[in-house]
């Protein structure tokens, strides 16, 4: 039983990462012809990947569509904190803003599908 749970968790993390990659590719195509500096475009690409990682975590560990996922709300929160902190580090924010970004995106992960269902690319 434990190995089955571990395999499902591995599949879930794969889906989260895949969503992050797809969102980063979307960002890459948006900035490909922008003509901005390479450093800024790389930062934007990383930001898109982190946002995709957050949305992927919300959709994979969502409890609205699958009631058995209610116990995974902390996973959404942790994924949110990681993605927000990563964006703040990518942009070189001060430590107080890094903490604020981690906490606020962790809250966004905890709230989950309540706000994510309104995101439209």
Predicted local confidence at residue 87, as pLDDT: 95
Produce one character per residue of 45-70: b if its CB has 16 or more CB atoms within 10 Å, e if not: bbbbbbbbbbbbbbbbbbeeeeeebe
Would you say 82 and 56 are in contact if contact means Cβ atoms under 8 Å apart?
A: no
Predicted local confidence at residue 120, as pLDDT: 67
Q: For the ranges 12-16, 36-40, 65-69, 71-75, which has the lowest average pLDDT? A: 65-69
Most confident of 6-10, 20-24, 61-65: 20-24
**Does 67 score more than 80 pLDDT?**
no
**Does 93 score more than 90 pLDDT?**
yes
Predicted local confidence at residue 31, as pLDDT: 75
Structure tokens at 99: 């903490």
**Residue 20 CB partners (closer than 8 Å, separation 6+):** 49, 50, 52, 53, 56
Give the three-class secondary structure for 61: coil
CB neighbourhood size of 17 (10 A): 15
> pLDDT digit string (tens) for 13-45?
888 888 888 888 888 887 777 667 778 888 888
pTM for this entry: 0.77
Instruction: Please give the DSSP secondary-structure letter assigned to residue 65.
Output: S
């Amino acid at each position: 039983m434990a190995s089955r749970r571990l395999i499902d968790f591995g599949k879930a993390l794969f889906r989260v990462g895949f969503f992050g990659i797809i969102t980063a590719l979307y960002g890459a195509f948006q900035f490909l012809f922008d003509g901005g500096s390479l450093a800024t475009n790389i930062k934007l690409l990383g930001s898109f990947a982190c946002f995709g990682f957050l949305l992927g975590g919300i959709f994979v560990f969502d409890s609205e569509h699958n009631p058995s996922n209610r116990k995974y709300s902390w996973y959404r929160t942790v994924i949110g904190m990681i993605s927000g902190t990563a964006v703040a580090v990518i942009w070189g924010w001060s430590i107080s803003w890094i903490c604020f970004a981690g906490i606020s995106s962790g809250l966004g992960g905890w709230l989950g599908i309540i706000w994510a269902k309104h995101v439209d690319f």
